[in-house]
Structure 1
Amino acid sequence: MNLVSIRVITADVARLVDFYERVTSLRATWATEDFAEIRTGSGTLAIGSTRTVPLFAPGSARPADNRSAIIEFRVDDVDAVHRDLAGSVDDIVKEPTTMPWGNRAFLFRDPDGNLVNLFTPVTPEAVERAG
């Protein structure tokens, strides 16, 4: 089994796609106006409209209602990305900080309130774990 993607449901697909394109410096692939994907080398962030929820199960997902998941991206230099995103991120949760497990992390919320963590392994142990 392989984890393929994380899907975020939103009331404004274009706004969220624009935000994640700026954060990742990657272009989204649009399937329809209700669904786009941002593909990285190791996984995909899928962004779907509230109009897609009934296709799965009506009422099974609500936009802008998540306080339990963190969308994470490993970056080469979290401090440089932090500087590059200055002014693009409104809701910063934690400025770049080296965590006890050896990753330097920058946490913020996307326009729908989902928590995003950009991180760089910085200690020898963290770099080794990251492979």
Structure 2
Amino acid sequence: MQTTQPAKPERLGVYVLADDLNRSEAFYSTLFGASPAVRTEVFAGYDVAGGLFAVVSRATFAPDAKLGGNAIPYIKVDDIEAAYQHVRTIAPDALKAPGVISEGPLSLFKFTDPDGNIIEYFSLNAPIDGL
């Protein structure tokens, strides 16, 4: 019997679906304060903390998928209050709850992009090994 080795991950990525890629690109470029590192007609990929956060065309990649709630990427930030204020400024109607929620060692808040995909920012209130 032949043995195999697991693939060695080189980079973690996540993508969300969009019906209007240009609209989503404008939102995420403002959110991240950067243009996509990779852009095609059906894909916009951002370098976020060493990982690839992409927005892809639903029609091309997953035409039968329902927008929003397919995956919830959560992104660690150093200053949760500053991140909350930034999202509140650029997309106040996108916030899923009023204010930052603190749960044990985590503080977090959720918001939606223009296609209803949920994004979560979090920060640590106390050190956690590996995070």
Q: Same fold (TM over 0.5)?
A: yes
Does structure 1 conserve the Cα–Cα contact (< 8 Å) formed by 2:101 and 2:108?
yes
Aligned to 2:123: 120
Larger Rg: 2
Q: CA RMSD in A?
A: 2.1
Cα distance between partner residues in 2 of 1:30 and 1:123: 35
Shift of 1:63: 5.2
Q: Does 1:98 align with 2:102?
A: yes
Residues 26, 122 of structure 1: alpha-carbon distance in 2 compared, 3 angstrom cutoff:
farther
Higher strand share: 1
Listed as ranges, the gaps of 5+ residues in structure 2 are 1-7
Listed as ranges, the gaps of 5+ residues in structure 1 are none
Q: Does 1:78 align with 2:80?
A: yes
- If the length of structure 2 is used for normalisation, what is the TM-score? 0.78
Cα distance between partner residues in 2 of 1:62 and 1:103: 31
Matched positions, count: 121
Aligned to 1:108: 111
- If the length of structure 1 is used for normalisation, what is the TM-score? 0.78
Aligned to 2:47: 39
SS in 1 for 2:34: coil
Cα distance between partner residues in 2 of 1:117 and 1:50: 21
Shift of 1:92: 1.3
- Give % identity: 24
Shift of 1:107: 1.0
Residues 86, 31 of structure 1: alpha-carbon distance in 2 compared, 3 angstrom cutoff:
closer
Aligned to 2:28: 20
Residues 119, 45 of structure 1: alpha-carbon distance in 2 compared, 3 angstrom cutoff:
same
Shift of 1:87: 3.3
Q: Which runs of 4+ in 1 moved over 3 A?
A: none
Does structure 2 conserve the Cα–Cα contact (< 8 Å) formed by 1:91 and 1:108?
yes
Does structure 1 conserve the Cα–Cα contact (< 8 Å) formed by 2:100 and 2:108?
yes
Tell which deviates more after alignment, 79-88 or 112-121.
79-88
